[in-house]
């Protein structure tokens, strides 16, 4: 299995960076994972602004040479792991800007007649590891699971990715957040997963 980790956090001295390390280190112990690539969107200086106009048409976005290398990474990967904090109940603008541009029509999906398109990323799987300041049950109870619904139904299922696993870790700025236990959980998950 080839794994692409897309990491979105501005500061390396952080719990998010510790999660990234545990994903990488766990994966290194896993004989099912042959290769790992990391895309650190902040370190990369990724430009999250999707622009289109009369010169640069949106319908051509799937061939935009400026982001060709990122399309190649997505095509290469069997499993895509997203690591990010939850800001306002959803991922940071930086990650959503990556999605705005990379998940283009005729690359990630193909319009057909009817409501749903053909997903061109089918066969791949996704894991989302997210951290929040608020308690773990906040997005579920108060936000009606909106984050998962948007990521799973509006994005991943739409492009053909059916297998989506979420880890939402709450109370991450609290001494009662069990950070160490959650880091170990992630290490173990990645050291053992088999597909």
- Residues forming the site for a second copy (CB under 8 A): 10-11, 13, 42, 48-54, 87-90, 92-94, 96-97, 99-100, 103, 115, 134-135, 138, 142-147, 149-150, 153-155, 158
Name the one residue in this structure whose structure tokens are 């997005």.
139
Q: Shortest approach of a second copy to residue 77 CB, angstroms?
A: 19
Radius of gyration of the chain (CA): 17
Which one, 87 or 166, has the nearer CB to a second copy? Answer: 87
* Contacts of 115 by beta carbon, 8 Å cutoff, 6+ apart: none
Bridge partner list, 128: 82, 166
d(CA 115, CA 98): 24
User: Is 182 in a helix, a strand, or coil?
Assistant: helix
Check the CA dihedral 38-189-140-17 and report its sign: negative
Nearer to a second copy, 158 or 167 (CB): 158
Beta carbon of residue 11, minimum distance to a second copy (angstroms, whole number): 5
49 vs 66, beta carbon nearer a second copy: 49
Q: How many other C-beta atoms are found inside a 10 Å radius of the C-beta of residue 7?
A: 24
Q: Least distance to a second copy from the beta carbon of 108, Å?
A: 10
For the CB of residue 187, give the shortest distance to a second copy in the complex, in Å: 26
Which pair of structure tokens corresponds to residue 169?
Answer: 């870790």
Between 108 and 127, name the residue whose CB sits nearer to a second copy: 108
Q: Shortest Cβ distance from residue 177 to a second copy (Å)?
A: 15
**CB-nearer residue toward a second copy: 65 or 115:** 115
Instruction: Annotate 7-34 with three-state secondary structure.
Output: ECCCCCCCHHHHHHHHHHHHHHCCCCCC
């Amino acid at each position: 299995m080839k794994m692409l980790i897309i990491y979105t956090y501005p500061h390396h001295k952080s719990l998010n960076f510790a999660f990234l390390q545990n994903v990488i280190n766990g994966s290194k112990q896993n004989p099912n994972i042959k290769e790992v690539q990391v895309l650190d969107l902040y370190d990369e200086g990724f430009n999250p602004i999707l622009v289109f106009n009369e010169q640069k048409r949106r319908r051509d976005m799937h061939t935009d040479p400026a982001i060709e290398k990122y399309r190649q990474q997505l095509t290469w990967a069997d499993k895509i792991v997203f690591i990010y904090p939850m800001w306002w109940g959803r991922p940071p603008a930086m990650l959503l800007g990556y999605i705005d541009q990379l998940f283009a029509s005729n690359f990630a999906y193909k319009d057909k007649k009817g409501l749903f398109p053909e997903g061109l990323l089918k066969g791949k799987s996704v894991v989302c590891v997210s951290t929040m300041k608020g308690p773990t049950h906040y997005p579920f109870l108060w936000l009606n699971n909106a984050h998962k619904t948007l990521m799973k139904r509006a994005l991943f299922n739409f492009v053909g990715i059916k297998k989506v696993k979420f880890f939402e870790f709450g109370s991450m700025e609290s001494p009662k957040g069990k950070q160490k236990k959650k880091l170990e959980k992630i290490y173990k998950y990645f050291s053992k997963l088999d597909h």
